[in-house]
Homo-oligomer: A and B are copies of this chain.
Amino acid sequence: MPELRRDPILGRWIIIAQERGQRPTDFLVEEYKVKGGFCPLCPGNEKTTPDEVLVYGREGGYPNTSGWQLRVVPNKYPALIIEGDLDKQGEGVYDRMNGIGAHEVIIESPNHLDRFSHLPPHLMLLTFKAFRDRIHDLAKDCRFNYVVVFKNFGKAAGASLEHSHSQLVALPILPRMVISELEGSLSYFNYKDRCIFCDIIRQELQQKVRLVCENDLFVTLTPFAPRSPFEMWILPKRHNSSYVEQDDAALAGLAAIFSETLRRLDACIPHVPYNFVLHTQPLRSGSLEYYHWHFEIVPKLTSIAGFEWGTGFYINPMTPEETCRYLREANL
């Protein structure tokens, strides 16, 4: 019997249409092959990228030379550009503005073959620090209202470069997803006077059927109404709406659980393509009682066709309780 489930924050309904005995190994994942060839993100090729805006691990030495552990550079083919003043215009019923923004690439390791799921712990930690430090820096630019941090891993998930990297885009406006999440969690808060994410965490720690793993500071869940099999959310246990306020100790806890989470996923479906996106408060907000920062990891296992496109209504062949069981029992 199929089931309809509602995401409590967004009000997004999904259909769980379980295919009988669907197992992680039934998903077709493109074979993993190292293409090799020239890599603009490898050490020694620093001059082929735009000038770095952040570097960790290079002691002394010139900018844009080797010896680094992590580098952040502007995207060579940016979706938005950094120079210019914001110019907002109407045209009858329509609104437009010029495409001011920043688009950067976080190069997470000097080693071409490192995969993010198996990154050495110190590099994993540097990645999460780089997210924080870049958001902190971009927030000083008053033209920007939001920074989207995300990763595309694997061709099916939109990655075009092999070398482990994530991206960020600083935007002059709030994306719709952010607005919907803020509205949804505010409406719950107005009703209950509690953060909906805190309530979810409390319920999941009690029920334990969608709890993948946890440590002192963080928890990984398969969400109640997932868009895709093996979708996972990583949330801080203690209420906080802003990623940028996290100290190094918190980021160490995050790096640890993120690494475990991705290794569990990889053990279930080796080399599965996925996207992750950081969900955090807008740059110009003070601390929000009703919102809770977190990461969402969405494997690319099902195709998005007209139905999903037209309705925002996803069909998922596995329950999150089922995928949680696989993830928890994975051999690490």
- A residues apposed to B, CB below 8 Å: 1-6, 8, 10-13, 15-17, 78-81, 84, 92-99, 101, 148, 150-152, 157-159, 167, 169, 171-173, 175-180, 196, 199-200, 203, 207, 224-225, 275-277, 279, 296, 298, 303-307, 309-313, 315
Contacts and interface: CB of A to CB of B under 8 A. Distances in A.
A92 to B, nearest CB: 4
Contacts of A207: 92
A109 B96 CA distance: 43
A12 B176 contact: yes
Nearest to A276: B306
Pairs A-B, 8 closest by C-beta atoms: A158-B305, A2-B99, A277-B310, A275-B306, A175-B311, A150-B306, A176-B312, A6-B95
B152 A305 contact: yes
Contact of A312 (B171, B175, B303, B306): B175
A94 B7 CA distance: 7
A180 B180 CA distance: 10
A4 B311 CA distance: 24
Main secondary structure of the interface of A (DSSP, over half): mixed
A158 B303 contact: yes
B312 A177 contact: yes
Contacts of A78: 2, 17
Contacts of A296: 310
B1 A98 contact: yes
Given A1-B98, A203-B92, A305-B275, A177 B6 contact: no
Given A306-B277, A310-B148, A311-B177, A93 B8 contact: yes
Contact of A96 (B5, B81, B176): B5
26 contacts: A1-B84, A2-B81, A2-B98, A2-B101, A3-B99, A6-B94, A6-B96, A11-B176, A12-B176, A15-B79, A17-B79, A92-B207, A148-B311, A150-B307, A158-B303, A159-B305, A177-B310, A177-B311, A180-B312, A275-B305, A277-B307, A277-B309, A277-B311, A296-B310, A298-B309, A304-B304
